[in-house]
């Protein structure tokens, strides 16, 4: 706007270029065919116009230079602001990554502590159950000795005061004897219950020892380097042949294969059957079993649990033995998945022995041994 105003003033001062100007007094130059301005005045006007044009250019250039400098300063400020915002974004991303890593580490720590506590609780439970079994056996033996003792025919094991001094010093106490005497020459004899039968409850517990199989351990280490659920590996292939396959091999082969697929896909559900819910089962009694018939073995058994395979609508009643076999395989796959996901923080040897223990549970369940609800409680 200022530039246009200066140009306007210059044109007002010098007049339009090429305009006719009269000499003072309105007189014209003599000897000229066409009227025109005096040569001296024309040159002055041209000089003034040129000087004004130069001044306008210089001032316009100066204004543009100032605007350019201002624009460059503003651009630098915006670049600094962008750089600051970029630093803030990088800092926030780093803090978010650290927080995520911390949360994952805390979750892994909680899972590890929970596994340790669960293992300790299971160990204490087994020890307590063993002590209860021993105490029950001792109480039963004492009751037997007391009931078999009468005034006419006293039981000398129940009444040590009736024994002779020599026999009393050599005899065993009722607490550890199951109706037999022990001396130096027969200290290795097995305990016998009243009637001459072998008393298994009086046997002392044997300390379990173990020795690692190098072939199995090498296969486990190879699998652990790149853990997966692919059965083509030597480690899982052996377990499928020796443990999983036999453990999940039931009379109903087609249903057995469906159960194995559901266990592998982690889509099998086991739930107890309430007494009030038994008449509401819509599944076919022959195909899916029933409260008194196992759907996997086809045998008449009291079925207190039922399974559901993935998204199927049907429920299949299973016997306690079938449930123990399926549970043993599920426990093995659960531990294998924990190793695959990196949730197990034990060393390789501890992992191997835990896998071996789970394999033993599958073998025991396959042979028909399982814990009843009373034992588990």
What would the pLDDT profile of 246-282 be if each residue is shown by its tens digit?
Answer: 999 999 999 999 999 999 999 999 999 875 444 444 4
Residue of higher predicted confidence among 121 and 45: 121
Strand partners, 308: 269
CB contact at 8 A, 302 and 274: no
Most confident of 90-94, 127-131, 160-164: 90-94
Q: What is the pLDDT of residue 148?
A: 53
Which pLDDT does position 77 carry in this prediction? Answer: 93
| 17, pLDDT greater than 90 | no
The top-scoring range by mean pLDDT among 9-13, 72-76, 202-206 is: 72-76
Q: d(Cα 259, Cα 307) in Å, to the nearest integer? A: 9
Instruction: Report the pLDDT averaged over residues 329-346.
Output: 91
Please, which pLDDT band fits residue 113 given cuts at 50, 70 and 90?
Answer: very high
Cα–Cα distance for residue pair 167/190, rounded to 1 Å: 19
pLDDT above 90 for 237: yes
Q: How many CA atoms lie within 13 A of 360 on its CB side?
A: 7
What is residue 87's predicted lDDT score, i.e. its pLDDT? 93
Query: What pLDDT score does 191 carry?
Result: 52
Phi, psi of 251 (to 5 degrees): -65, -45
Please enumerate in sequence order all residues whose Cβ is within 8 A of that of 322, keeping only pairs 6 or more positions apart, or say none.
250, 294, 296, 297
Q: Tell me: pLDDT of 86 over 70.
A: yes
Q: Of 359, 363, 333, 370, which Cα lies nearest the Cα of 247? A: 363
In what helix (H) or strand (E) does residue 247 lie, and over which residues does it extend? helix 245-247
Q: Are 192 and 180 in contact (CB under 8 A)?
A: yes
Q: What is the pTM of this model?
A: 0.46
| Average pLDDT of the chain, as a whole number | 76
Q: What mean pLDDT do residues 92-97 have?
A: 93
């Amino acid at each position: 706007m200022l530039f246009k105003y200066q140009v306007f003033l210059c044109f007002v001062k010098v007049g339009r270029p090429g305009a006719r100007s009269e000499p003072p007094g309105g007189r014209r130059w003599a000897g000229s065919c066409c009227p025109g301005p005096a040569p001296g005045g024309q040159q002055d006007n041209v000089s003034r116009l040129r000087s004004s044009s130069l001044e306008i250019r210089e001032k316009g250039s100066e204004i543009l230079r100032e605007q350019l400098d201002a624009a460059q300063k503003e651009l630098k400020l915006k670049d600094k602001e962008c750089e600051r915002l970029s630093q803030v974004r990088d800092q926030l991303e780093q803090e978010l990554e650290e927080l995520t890593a911390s949360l994952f580490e805390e979750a892994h720590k909680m899972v590890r502590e929970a596994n340790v506590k669960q293992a300790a609780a299971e160990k204490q439970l087994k020890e307590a159950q063993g002590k209860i079994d021993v105490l029950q056996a001792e109480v039963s033996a004492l009751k037997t000795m007391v009931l078999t003792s009468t005034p006419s025919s006293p039981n000398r094991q129940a009444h040590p005061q009736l024994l002779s001094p020599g026999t009393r010093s050599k005899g065993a106490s009722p607490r550890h004897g199951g109706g037999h005497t022990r001396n130096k020459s027969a200290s290795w004899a097995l305990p016998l219950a009243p009637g001459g039968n072998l008393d298994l409850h009086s046997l002392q517990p044997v300390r379990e020892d173990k020795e690692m199989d190098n072939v199995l351990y090498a296969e486990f280490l190879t699998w652990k380097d790149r853990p997966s659920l692919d059965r083509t590996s030597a480690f899982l292939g052996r377990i499928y042949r020796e443990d999983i396959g036999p453990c999940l091999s039931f009379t109903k082969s087609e249903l057995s294969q469906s159960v194995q697929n559901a266990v592998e896909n982690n889509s099998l559900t086991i739930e107890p059957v309430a007494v009030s819910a038994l008449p509401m089962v819509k599944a076919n009694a022959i195909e899916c079993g029933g409260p008194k018939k196992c759907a996997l073995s086809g045998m008449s058994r009291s079925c207190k649990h039922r399974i559901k395979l993935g998204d199927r609508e049907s429920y299949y009643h299973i016997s306690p033995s079938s449930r123990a076999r399926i549970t043993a395989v599920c426990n093995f796959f659960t531990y294998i998945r924990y190793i695959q996901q990196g949730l197990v923080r034990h060393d390789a040897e501890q992992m191997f022995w835990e896998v071996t223990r789970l394999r033993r549970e599958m073998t025991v369940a396959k042979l028909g041994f399982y814990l009843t609800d009373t034992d588990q409680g």
